[in-house]
Structure 1
Amino acid sequence: MEKRNEVKKQPVGCSKQSEFVRRMEEKAEDLSTRTSGFTRYKTLDSILNVEMVKEKSAEEIKQIWNQYFSAKDTVYAVIPAEKFDLIWKRAQKCPSFLYALPRKEGYEFFVGQWSGTELHFTSLINIQTQGEAAPSQLVLYHYPELQEEKGIVLMTAEMDSKFLVVPEAQCLANQVQLFYATDCSETYELVETFNHRSSEFKYMSVIAKLEHSGLGKALRPNQVSDTS
């Protein structure tokens, strides 16, 4: 408990976090081996008959994807090709970011790290206490196989239900588009600052953007916040 209290007092952007981000960038290709209980090398073919759906329109594929996952306790999406292209280009330059998840009291922070087309989330407290050994608690899988031909990228996820429920995982997934697919240069600048000027990064700016977007409201149904 003393150790947990100690790391909670450390400012976001401190040397420990900066060192971890650098280590994560160097070993991004090893992330998929640290997802305890998750599927390794999850392919689109393991979910969908790709050859069969190639004859269908993008809208039909979207309906199939949504119908299939609507009955499952997970996060999923169909992302327009142009939006994913922007996210992907930015992810190459800025593979890490700090996301805020609303809790009953305050916020819990998660570091999101890209490894190929997988996006791994790990709570900051676990990173600060376990370092590189900290396992992923949520993985978003993006499938660009149909991007050129159909103009869509399919996404689904796996999560550790001991740490996250679906609405919380959805909140983190929505923030990827909030920060990586934004047209607002000020919003994306937070991502650039976290990756390239971590000493200047202010975690309260992430909270401010999240509150302004309204993405966290569903997790706090009784809270009224001014997002104007």
Structure 2
Amino acid sequence: MEQELEKRDQLAADGGTSDGFTKNKTLSSILNLEMIQDNTGEEIAELWMKYYSTKDTISAVIPTQMYEMISSRAKSCPSFLFALPQKEGYEFFLGQWSGHEIHFTSLINVQTMGENAPSQLILYHYTDLQQDKGVVLMTAEMDPKFITVHHAQCLANQVQLFYGTQKHETYRLVETFNHHPADFKHMSVVAELEQSGLAPGGS
């Protein structure tokens, strides 16, 4: 078992890619899972948030029930258009789910580079403790040339807003984008953001 873990850690260590993102980073490469076996979900959540509070990134702890909903919706609606408030209007980002990761790329990049557009932000969701401790741990990596911690937090909040919502009309925007793209209106995302208080309100 220990050899397996060592191999996994080695993979995690070797997993850096040229674009600065870590591929296949395991939770055990961040947290000592044996040491936290006896901790409660709340204690682990506190450790997780404390650990990342000093780093130039974002983190979150998502309750299992909420993550299960987000994850099942991500399977049926694997992409969505998110709006990031900027000084002048909004910049749109395409978010695409891949397993328990969601990759964000600016729409301008997608339009110019297509499938080769690089990820500018990746949110990683670790589900290792989902059943035993009732929490899913999230952290992110970003390309600091394009994305600030503030931007990353705004996009992460929107994932919960659109994929974790109880309001069916909010989630319907995600369904429309995936299943009826011709009916999708990008300004409806902006309207929803302003209504939710996640973005500066319109007049």
Relative to the length of structure 1, the TM-score reads 0.80
Q: C-alpha separation between the residues in 2 aligned to 1:135 and 1:33? A: 15
Q: Does 1:84 find its partner at 2:67?
A: yes
Aligned length: 189
2:8 is aligned to none
- Residue type at the aligned position of 2:187: M
Deviation of residue 216 (structure 1)?
A: 2.2
- Residue type at the aligned position of 2:164: A
Gaps spanning 5+ residues in structure 2: where? 1-14
Q: Decide which of 190, 193, 205 is 2:173's aligned counterpart.
A: 190
Q: C-alpha separation between the residues in 2 aligned to 1:50 and 1:91? A: 27
Q: Decide which of 42, 51, 63 is 1:59's aligned counterpart.
A: 42
Q: Decide which of 112, 118, 128 is 1:129's aligned counterpart.
A: 112
Contact 1:35 1:137 in 2 (8 A): no
Q: Decide which of 76, 88, 106 is 1:105's aligned counterpart.
A: 88
Contact 1:97 1:111 in 2 (8 A): yes
Deviation of residue 214 (structure 1)?
A: 1.1
- Residue type at the aligned position of 2:56: D
Deviation of residue 33 (structure 1)?
A: 9.9
Relative to the length of structure 2, the TM-score reads 0.90
Output one character per residue of 1:112-137: Cα deviation in whole Å (capped at 9) or x when no partner: 00011011000000000001110000
2:162 is aligned to 179
Output one character per residue of 1:80-108: Cα deviation in whole Å (capped at 9) or x when no partner: 00000000010000000000001111100
Q: C-alpha separation between the residues in 2 aligned to 1:64 and 1:208? A: 36
Deviation of residue 34 (structure 1)?
A: 8.3
The structure with higher relative contact order (CA 8 Å, sep 6+) is 1
Contact 2:17 2:23 in 1 (8 A): no
Deviation of residue 56 (structure 1)?
A: 0.5
Gaps spanning 5+ residues in structure 1: where? 1-31, 218-223
Q: Decide which of 119, 124, 130 is 1:141's aligned counterpart.
A: 124
Q: Runs (4+) of structure 1 moved beyond 3 Å?
A: 32-35
Q: Specify whether residues 81 and 134 from structure 1 end up closer, same or farther in structure 2 by C-alpha distance, changes over 3 A only.
A: same
- Residue type at the aligned position of 2:95: G
